[in-house]
Amino acid sequence: MTLWNLGSINADHVYAVPHIPAPGETLAATGLSRGLGGKGANMSVAMARAGGRVAHLGAVGADGGWMLERLEGYGVDCAHVQRHDGPSGHAIITVDAAAENAITIWPGANREIDPEAVKRALERAERGDLFVTQNETSLQVEAAAQAHAQGLTVAYAAAPFDADAVRAVLPHLDLLVLNEIEAQQLAQALGQPVEALPVPNVVVTLGAKGCDWIETASGARHHVDAPRVEAVDTTGAGDTFTGYLLAGLSQGLAMPEALARATRAAALKVGRHGAADAIPTLEEVERAAL
């Protein structure tokens, strides 16, 4: 079974600064590092690290070759990722000594994906494959609708949160993953609790408290506790969780087992600094004494 991920690919440029620059201020950074980021890329890496077969759909700019090499290095199939002339999606992240940050994101190629190319790529998917997207690219609704019509299981990670984006994609979903705040915002925007959503499975992540899985047909709510760990960097915790959950489902795990594995993987991630590059392998997740 293949996991098709229509997702963002971002270069994270991280600048260490003595303090976050004030309006009008010019400041020399004391350090610079470059990493692979974007919710889509993080999720593809997580699914691949979990042992899933992953085909990424999306686009990078002329400066994005190294990101595709990095993704492929993790085992993600990038044959359907488009190459554009303009800039790749990127984030300028300034971090001060107290770990406070300010982030500017340029969506770039992530919002200029060619619809025909995505349509043709998805036509190669097989009934029973899994499709996932998030709210950082163009074509979320079109691709989710096509995947749903072709008989794929369709999942959506509602981040960065936008109630209108969720509302538009909702009719095509089998599984919705969102964090506690996003769940509250969605319930408020739609005027109904997430238990009443027209999506069979809703997973609400609760940070250090774990997650809740809601089967909307029966209204049953199942809680999974997260292991207690020392969190040093929660960047990508949600992407690790969702990637591991979907990979587990694609490998035939039942929802409770897939959630348990995703919870362990995310707990390991928060104990490490970094995003995509800090996502643990399945072997590490299975071996860890949590």
Residues that constitute the known binding site for substrate: 10-12, 38-42, 136, 239
**Closest distance between ligand ATP and the C-beta of residue 85, in Å?**
31
d(Cα 172, Cα 148) in Å, to the nearest integer? 6
Minimum Å gap between C-beta 210 and ligand ATP is 5
**Using the rule CB under 6 A, is 211 a contact of ligand ATP?**
yes
Token reading at 10: 């971002």
In the annotation, is 129 catalytic? no
* Residue of the chain from 4, 74, 131, 241 that contacts ligand ATP (CB under 6 A): 241
Q: According to the binding rule CB under 6 A, does residue 89 interact with ligand ATP?
A: no
Distance between CA atoms of residues 261 and 241, nearest Å? 9
Name the residue among 10, 4, 6, 3 with its Cα closest to residue 142: 6
User: Are the CB atoms for 197 and 167 separated by under 8 Å?
Assistant: no
Q: Taking contact as CB under 6 A, which single stretch among the options 15-23, 46-54, 249-257, 264-272 is the one that binds ligand ATP?
A: 264-272
Phi, psi of 4 (to 5 degrees): -95, 125
Is residue 186 part of the contact set for ligand ATP (CB under 6 A)? no
> In whole angstroms, what is the distance from residue 68 CA to residue 51 CA?
19
CB-based closest residue to ligand ATP = 238
Cα(193)–Cα(212) distance, integer angstroms: 14
**C-alpha to C-alpha distance for 158 and 156, rounded to whole angstroms:** 6
| Binding-site residues from annotation for K(+) | 233, 235, 269, 272, 274
Reported in sequence order, the residue ranges of 45-181 that DSSP labels E, i.e. its strands, are: 53-60, 81-83, 89-95, 101-106, 130-134, 153-157, 175-179
* Catalytic residue selected from 162, 225, 239, 277: 239
Binding mask 124-163 for ligand ATP (x = CB under 6 A): -----------------------------------x----
**Residue closer to ligand ATP, measured from CB, 50 or 113:** 50
Site for ligand ATP contains 15 (CB under 6 A): no
**Residue 30 CA to chain centroid, in angstroms?**
30
Distance CA 114, CA 90 (A): 19
Stretch that binds ligand ATP, among 51-59, 105-113, 226-234, 243-251 (CB under 6 A): 226-234
CA dihedral 158, 161, 163, 168 (to 10 degrees): -40
Q: Residues forming the annotated binding site for ATP?
A: 179, 205-210, 238-239
Q: Which residues are designated catalytic?
A: 239
Q: Which residues bind ligand ATP (CB under 6 A)?
A: 159, 179, 205-208, 210-211, 226, 229, 231, 234, 236-239, 241, 263, 266-267, 270
